[in-house]
């Protein structure tokens, strides 16, 4: 009776959804953290984005309700929880930023800040799954990797659309089968887990390739899925980019496939030249012919569904030796779509010019000593500050300044809240914008996210100007 009732509720939820609404499944490609085995392999991590599926619990799936933005499901070597689960599922924004509302995401991150967000998630969500001391206290328990991933790395999501029935099939499949960890780096790793889910939706859409020497790698799965999506234009292919938050955590590095890592790594190349010289031509040839894949370029070519459609139409016209004028018009339209997300060179140049003037004003007002001092703001705040959550769940930083403790809000929501120190707020935004404008395309946030941060900077500047005027 219970199973029948659950099926009826699920079906009603599906029928109540807006017929024209779009839902997606995507391959999540995470940068390499350059830790443990990743220092050798450079492999990064793989997970799956589900826009219409949300967590009923960390180990059960359901259709999302109104206002929910989907989830990320992933497995790890060990989640470190009290039971040996193979996978967990978390809300998308919890995975990205450690918060449910992206407006509450930290404006910068540190190990301390990420730790506070992890602890809140454990207390609110994992209380029935993480009771043991090892789960609660171990920094190597990998459930922590599913909270605020952008604190420690850049990631991409390559997505296509799904039907309600496909999502219901996945829910039924995962809720019915045993959730028991059988992780194996060679045959059942995170990329294999992603491959299983994506191929449940689209058979043979992702697969292993020779560049990973018989294994499955995160980048290999992303590349095969991109190849599939580009040959199925009706599936509404697009790519999302989420930059690592500025802060004190070591910057992540682009993940690589097997032959790519050998091609670029001098540490591995020398031993191979000595002990496997006959295999080197194969390694180089395989990488140069089939192993090149740049997720940043993929994002820039498919920043929106509309851009992807323009790119596909352009290629079709080129293949048929079609009208050059039509190609030019569609290419201009595609570039406009991309510019709205990625930003144009001129936009970024204008931001840099304006920021230079703002920095000079901040120096004159005594807010900062020099532009180079902005490179040390986050480190100083981390060393002298203690992050905490208030009664409303908002993130704050208590900072010791010469024996006096002041506090500052750490998100767009509370940066200018009552009690938040205006000078520290201004320094945080100056350092935040300074980092973004110096960053390369791969590690810089989208122009939309940047514009929101820019508005916070202007507000902080206005507060500073008012304060200086009052003091004078």
pLDDT digits (tens, 9 = 90+) for 420-447: 999 999 999 999 999 999 999 999 999 9
Does residue 313 form part of some domain?
A: no
Rg over alpha carbons for the chain, rounded to the nearest Å, is: 24
Q: Which two tokens stand for residue 339?
A: 């510019």
**Whether residue 249 is found in the same domain as residue 363:** no
3-state secondary structure of 229: helix
* Helix, strand, coil fractions of the chain, as percent rounded to 5: 55, 15, 30
As beta bridge partners, residue 239 has: 158
Q: Can you tell me the mean pLDDT for 356-360?
A: 97
pLDDT at residue number 259: 61
Is 47 within a domain?
Answer: yes
Number of domains in the chain: 2
Domain-embedded: residue 68:
yes
Greater confidence (126 vs 274) lies with 126
Judgement on whether residues 247 and 349 belong to the same structural domain of the protein: no
Could you tell me if residue 188 is inside a domain? yes
Give the pLDDT of residue 46: 96
Q: Which of 8-22, 146-160, 185-199 has the lowest mean pLDDT?
A: 8-22
Quick one: 32 and 125 in the same domain?
Answer: yes
More confident residue, 346 or 43: 346
pLDDT tens, position by position, 190-236: 999 999 999 999 999 998 876 665 678 899 999 999 999 999 999 99
240 with 355, same domain?
no
CB hemisphere CA count around 240 (13 angstroms): 19
- 297 and 353 in a common domain: no
Q: Can you point out the beta strands (E) in 163-254?
A: 238-242
Mean pLDDT, residues 179-187 taken together: 87
Note whether residue 430 is domain-resident.
yes
326 domain residue, yes or no: no
Strands across the sheet containing 155-162: 87-91, 71-75, 45-50, 23-30, 155-162, 238-242
157 assigned to some structural domain: yes
Whole-number pLDDT of residue 363: 96
Judge if 297 and 382 occupy the same domain.
no
Residues 123 and 253 in one domain: yes
For residue 399, pLDDT over 90 is answered with yes
Please give the Cα distance from 157 to 202 (Å, whole number): 17
Last residue of a domain, one of 302, 336, 363: 302
> What is the residue range of 99's domain?
23-257+293-302
Q: Going by C-beta distance under 8 Å and a sequence separation of 6 or more, which residues neighbour residue 205?
A: 198, 199, 224, 225, 228
Q: Give me the pLDDT at residue 185, please.
A: 78
Question: Does 367 score more than 90 pLDDT?
Answer: yes
If phi > 0 it is left, if psi is from -120 to 50 it is alpha, else beta; for residue 59 that is: alpha
Q: What is the pLDDT of residue 203?
A: 97
Residue-averaged pLDDT of the chain:
88
Q: Which of 108-112, 193-197, 257-261 has the lowest mean pLDDT?
A: 257-261
pLDDT of residue 258: 54
347 against 467, higher pLDDT: 347
- Looking at 240, 273, 302, which one is the last position of a domain? 302
Tokens, residue 437: 């404008």
Give me the pLDDT at residue 246, please: 97
Do both 461 and 398 map to the same domain? Answer: yes
Range with the lowest mean pLDDT among 22-36, 129-143, 207-221, 245-259?
Answer: 207-221
Lowest average pLDDT, out of 252-261, 297-306, 394-403, 440-449, goes to 252-261
Q: Give a yes or no: residue 271 inside a domain.
A: no
Give the pLDDT confidence score for residue 274 in this predicted structure. 45
Contact 43, 219 (CB under 8 A): yes
For residues 288 and 293, the model is more confident at 293
Q: Where does the pLDDT of residue 10 fall: very low under 50, low under 70, confident under 90, or very high at 90 and above?
A: very low
Residues 58 and 117 in one domain: yes
251 shares its domain with 359? no
Collapsing DSSP states into helix, strand and coil, what is residue 28?
strand
Pair 81, 141: CB distance under 8 Å: yes
363 shares a domain with 443: yes
Q: Is residue 364 exposed (0-12), middle (13-18) or buried (19+ Cβ within 10 Å)?
A: exposed
Residue 18, pLDDT > 50, answer no
Distance (Å, rounded) from C-alpha 212 to C-alpha 15? 43
pLDDT of 189 > 70? The answer is yes
Instruction: Note whether 371 and 441 are same-domain residues.
Output: yes
């Amino acid at each position: 009776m219970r199973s029948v009732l659950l099926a009826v509720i699920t079906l009603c939820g599906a029928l109540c959804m807006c017929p024209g609404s779009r839902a997606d499944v995507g391959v999540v490609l995470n940068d390499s953290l350059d830790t443990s085995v990743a220092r050798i392999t450079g492999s990064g991590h793989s997970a799956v984005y589900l826009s219409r599926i949300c967590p009923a619990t960390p180990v059960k799936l359901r259709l999302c309700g109104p206002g929910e933005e989907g989830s990320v499901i992933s497995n790890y070597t060990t989640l470190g929880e009290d039971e040996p689960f193979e996978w967990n599922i978390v809300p998308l924004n919890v995975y990205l930023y450690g918060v449910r509302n992206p407006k509450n995401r930290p404006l910068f991150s540190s190990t301390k800040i990420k730790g506070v967000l992890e602890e809140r998630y454990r207390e609110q969500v994992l209380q029935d799954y993480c009771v043991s001391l090892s789960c609660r206290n171990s920094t190597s328990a990998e459930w922590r990797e599913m909270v605020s991933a952008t604190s420690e790395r850049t990631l991409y999501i390559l997505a296509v659309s799904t039907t309600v029935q496909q999502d219901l099939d996945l829910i039924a499949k995962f809720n019915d089968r045993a959730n028991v960890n059988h992780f194996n780096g060679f045959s059942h790793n995170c990329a294999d887990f992603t491959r299983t889910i994506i191929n449940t939706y689209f058979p043979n859409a992702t697969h292993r390739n020779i560049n990973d020497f018989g294994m499955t790698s995160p980048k290999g799965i992303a590349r095969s899925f991109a190849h599939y999506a580009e040959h199925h234009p009706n599936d509404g292919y697009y790519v999302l980019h989420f930059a690592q938050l500025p802060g004190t955590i070591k910057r992540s590095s682009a993940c690589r496939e097997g032959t790519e890592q050998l091609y670029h790594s001098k540490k591995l190349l020398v031993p191979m030249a000595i002990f496997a010289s006959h295999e080197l031509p194969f390694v180089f040839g395989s990488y140069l012919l089939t192993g090149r894949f740049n997720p940043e370029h993929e994002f820039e070519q498919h920043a929106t569904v509309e851009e992807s459609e323009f790119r596909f139409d352009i290629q079709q016209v080129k293949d048929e030796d079609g009208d050059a004028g039509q190609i030019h018009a569609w290419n201009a339209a595609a570039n406009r779509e991309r510019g709205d997300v990625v930003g144009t060179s001129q936009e970024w140049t204008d931001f840099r010019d304006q920021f230079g003037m703002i920095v000079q004003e901040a120096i004159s007002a005594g807010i900062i000593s020099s532009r180079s001092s902005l490179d040390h703001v986050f480190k100083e705040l981390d060393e002298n500050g203690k992050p905490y959550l208030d009664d409303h769940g908002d993130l704050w930083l208590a900072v010791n300044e010469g024996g006096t403790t002041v506090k500052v809000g750490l998100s767009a929501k509370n940066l200018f809240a009552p009690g938040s120190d205006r000078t520290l707020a201004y320094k945080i935004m100056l350092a935040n914008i300074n980092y973004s404008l110096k960053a390369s395309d791969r590690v810089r946030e989208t122009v939309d996210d940047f514009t929101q941060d820019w508005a916070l900077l202007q507000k902080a500047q206005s507060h500073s100007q008012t304060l200086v005027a009052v003091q004078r």
